Structure 1
Amino acid sequence: MKNLKDSSYTRRAFRAVFVVLGKLPKKKKLVVFESFHAKQFSDNPRAIYEYMKEHYPDYTLLWSVDKSAIKLFEEFKVPYIQRFTINWFWTFPRAEYWVNNVRLPLWMPKPKGTVYLQTWHGTPLKKLGLDIEEVHMPNTKTDSYKKNFVLESEKWDYLISPNSYSSEIFKRAFHYNGEVIESGYPRNDILSNSSETLVSNLKKDLGIAEHKKVMLYAPTWRDNEFYQKGKYKFEFQFDLKNWEKEFGDDWVLLSRMHYLVAENFDFSAYEGIVYDVSRYPDIRDLYLASDLLITDYSSVFFDYAILNRPVIFFMYDLENYRDQLRGFYIDIEKDAPGPIVQTESELFQAIQELKDMDVQSNQAFAKFKKRFTSLEDGRATERVVQAFLK
């Protein structure tokens, strides 16, 4: 079935149906949302949906959902249509608004009269789109990868940017000439508006004892380490037994893999110490519940800095990632809002040094925060919605 769905014949047929139905009268005030290829209820689209649900009751809000994610949306009691079904084809091309945070399938043209809000999903550290010199992803040619980005960005009417630094990069890397809403990220409003009660409840929901402190490990994927297209390998570069011996009495570790990483980690030997939260619906809750972040090249640290909590960069393959795979937009060794480490012993030492530190007293952290998070005042969603509904 999957091969049939992915065949060029099926894509052409889908496109033809989509074009015809897109010419029918628009369903006014219908907003259709997607997050991470219709598989998540998360990120900027979720924040916009929740805001509109509260403040715009006269709008119809629907999620486009992959079959694999139906259970999740039913648990959240979120109205949805299953992707690529008859009802979906009847609805999606006729919606007045689309809200999405990644690229749509290439065969989906944007109908005339549809307003497409592209939220994207992070402040960029690693190079994006047209700025990538050579693409190392499986079954992907550099020229076609870049061409496809241009074809996608031509559909966008609005693009959200979290800061002026991102606006400049997005316009160039996506070859985007439309309107940029430089607003801060809607998904980060909750980080500015959180309460101690919310954090306490999140820990309870995760099954973490109130007295335990929480480390969040959230690395990204490596373009050249894969099983197949869209399924990437990942191997821990620090020993969990050693981590438990060093920190297990006072801390728990939340392991959050990128959604493209295919590994199923077995942490049963560390029950109550290490938690696999890769499938947890939204990382924003994990930010709030944690006291310290360990990451590498993921954009999560730009958001996490809003909370004024320590960040450690475990970049064990820095030279290769920087010089061969992607390249960076900033001088991370100079501008990182926390220490860069490359070995297990360096990582553990950095944790010991930072775990009780007030990062706001650190000049580098303050400078970083001013540059990248100055718009994150808890009202980004309001600004975005007012801009694209005008």
Structure 2
Amino acid sequence: MLHILKRLPAYLKGVLLLTLLRPVAAVLRKTNKAYRQLWLVMERGYDARDNGYWFFRYLREQQPQVNACFVIDPESPDYGKVSQLGRTVRWRSLKHYLMYLAADMLIGTHVQPASPDLVTFYHLRQIGIRPRGKQAFLQHGIIGNKMKMMTYPGLKVDFFASGGRMEYDYLVSEYGFPEGVIQYTGLCRYDNLIRGNKPSNEILVMPTWRGSDYPRGEQFYGTEFYRHFQSLLRNSRLIRLLEERDLRLIFYPHIELQNELDKFKPASERIILASWRDYDVQTLLMRCSLLITDYSSVFFDAGYMEKPVIYYQFDPEDFRKYHYQEGYFSAEKHGFGPVSGTEEALVDAVYECAGNGFRMEEEYRKRLGAFFPVRDEKNCERTYRILCRMSGEK
């Protein structure tokens, strides 16, 4: 019997699982207060550093009457700070499945919010089987590129948070969601950016990944990504600037490339290779005086704090080939800092920024204002009020 089950497609396994667990979840919802009017919050299941964490924290500190629970693996380095706030459930446990089926509100930073099994529940939704709870997509970062997987009806959610005005206009016009689903609330984690913004003597280099088909392992050494960033981490002019101004450079590649981190060999002790387990992205952003990125949406976070940004885009064709197509946002036309295509131009831009006291230039401040007409600490509050209306609560 077991060998037959193993051969079943994921969505059929999911149907069987739902058939078994749905009646149990329905009973628990009526008889157990832990499952009643439940708001289930999750990021990726193994971390708590993003919009999900900050929204959960807001709920526990400002709206303790909400029956909220955060999904996280107890082995996560972030488990301690979440468990101190309130109730948690182990990621992918039986209880997680039951809570997912019982919850009134499913809240997450990635597609299939709060789901215990992304693949299974994706297939189920394609054949019309959805959880009973309202689904709130808080986003992982502001969308600047074309992301077909997040367009309707491929992605079906009841609430889709937008972080900026230009993004909101783009999503509403191009992504096809029913009216009212997409809301310009701001991203929940941005509340803390303003409160905790304390620039120090650090330059943060944070490139994004290149898609799931990009070479990994030993083949990674031959990529443009590796060659360019390895060269940058050994650039003598850049290291001289770090020494002269008593600066540190933190190199933190996207979490999908963290397994390749040990392949990089900096030429100075002032350059730190930052592992995701040891460094919190938001803390690094609040602490840095300058952000260098390529195509990552993390520059929106830096911009929200009016920090200078430099784009290092040496492989636009490769990036578009392996990853996302360009959307409404062009770094050259709308970006919050200069765009460099070569290492020499990048280092020149870093020197210029340092000479300017690491302040954002007026041209880029104007662009920032157009993108973020609202910059405050009420993103969680706006999100909460919308979810309350969705759930029928006051």
How far, CA to CA, are the matches of 1:6 and 1:351 in structure 2?
55
Q: 289-298 vs 333-342, which deviates more? A: 333-342
Q: Do 1:310 and 1:355's aligned partners in 2 also have CA atoms closer than 8 Å? A: no
After superposition, the C-alpha distances for 1:51-80 in whole angstroms (9 at most, x for unaligned) are 11111112232222247x545313653532
How far, CA to CA, are the matches of 2:363 and 2:6 in structure 1?
52
Q: Which residue is 1:260 aligned to?
A: 256
Q: Which amino acid aligns with 2:307?
A: R
- Gaps of at least 5 residues in structure 1 are 130-145, 200-211
Q: Do 2:47 and 2:76's aligned partners in 1 also have CA atoms closer than 8 Å? A: no
Q: Which residue is 1:13 aligned to?
A: 16
How far, CA to CA, are the matches of 1:356 and 1:183 in structure 2?
36
Q: Do 2:159 and 2:182's aligned partners in 1 also have CA atoms closer than 8 Å? A: yes
Cα gap change, 1:59 to 1:324, in 2 (>3 Å): closer
Give the secondary-structure state (helix, strand or coil) at the position aligned to 1:32. Answer: strand
The yes-or-no answer on 1:74 pairing with 2:67 is no
Q: Do 1:360 and 1:366's aligned partners in 2 also have CA atoms closer than 8 Å? A: no
Q: Do 1:153 and 1:175's aligned partners in 2 also have CA atoms closer than 8 Å? A: no
After superposition, the C-alpha distances for 1:326-383 in whole angstroms (9 at most, x for unaligned) are 2232232222221111222111111000124267673421221112222221111111
Cα gap change, 1:314 to 1:381, in 2 (>3 Å): same
2:307 corresponds to which of 300, 309, 320: 309
Q: Which amino acid aligns with 1:159?
A: F
Cα gap change, 1:355 to 1:7, in 2 (>3 Å): farther
Give the secondary-structure state (helix, strand or coil) at the position aligned to 1:186. Answer: coil
Q: Which residue is 1:125 aligned to?
A: 144
What is the number of equivalent residue pairs in this alignment?
Answer: 351
Q: Which residue is 2:205 aligned to?
A: 217
Q: Do 1:295 and 1:312's aligned partners in 2 also have CA atoms closer than 8 Å? A: yes
How far, CA to CA, are the matches of 1:71 and 1:21 in structure 2?
32
- 1:2-151 to 2 correspondence within 5 Å? 8=10, 10-17=13-20, 19-21=22-24, 23-24=26-27, 25=29, 27-35=35-43, 37-66=44-73, 69-74=75-80, 76-78=82-84, 79-104=87-112, 105-108=118-121, 109-112=129-132, 114-129=133-148, 146=149, 150=152
Cα gap change, 1:342 to 1:278, in 2 (>3 Å): farther
2:298 corresponds to which of 297, 300, 315: 300
Q: CA RMSD in A?
A: 3.2
- Gaps of at least 5 residues in structure 2 are 113-117, 122-128, 390-394
Q: Which amino acid aligns with 2:194?
A: S
Cα gap change, 1:341 to 1:281, in 2 (>3 Å): same
Q: Which residue is 1:158 aligned to?
A: 159
Q: Which amino acid aligns with 1:102?
A: H
Q: Which residue is 1:248 aligned to?
A: 242
Q: Which residue is 1:347 aligned to?
A: 346
Give the secondary-structure state (helix, strand or coil) at the position aligned to 1:99. Answer: strand
Q: Which amino acid aligns with 2:96?
A: W
How far, CA to CA, are the matches of 2:288 and 2:270 in structure 1?
15
Q: CA deviation at 1:311?
A: 0.6
How far, CA to CA, are the matches of 1:264 and 1:320 in structure 2?
18
Q: Which residue is 1:142 aligned to?
A: none
How far, CA to CA, are the matches of 1:348 and 1:5 in structure 2?
55
Q: Do 1:308 and 1:359's aligned partners in 2 also have CA atoms closer than 8 Å? A: no
Give the secondary-structure state (helix, strand or coil) at the position aligned to 1:33. Answer: strand
The TM-score with structure 2 as length reference comes to 0.78
Give the secondary-structure state (helix, strand or coil) at the position aligned to 1:355. Answer: helix
Q: CA deviation at 1:385?
A: 0.7
How far, CA to CA, are the matches of 1:6 and 1:294 in structure 2?
46
How far, CA to CA, are the matches of 2:159 and 2:24 in structure 1?
23
Q: 315-324 vs 281-290, which deviates more? A: 315-324
Q: CA deviation at 1:263?
A: 2.7
Q: Do 1:291 and 1:309's aligned partners in 2 also have CA atoms closer than 8 Å? A: yes
How far, CA to CA, are the matches of 1:100 and 1:288 in structure 2?
23
Give the secondary-structure state (helix, strand or coil) at the position aligned to 1:235. Answer: helix
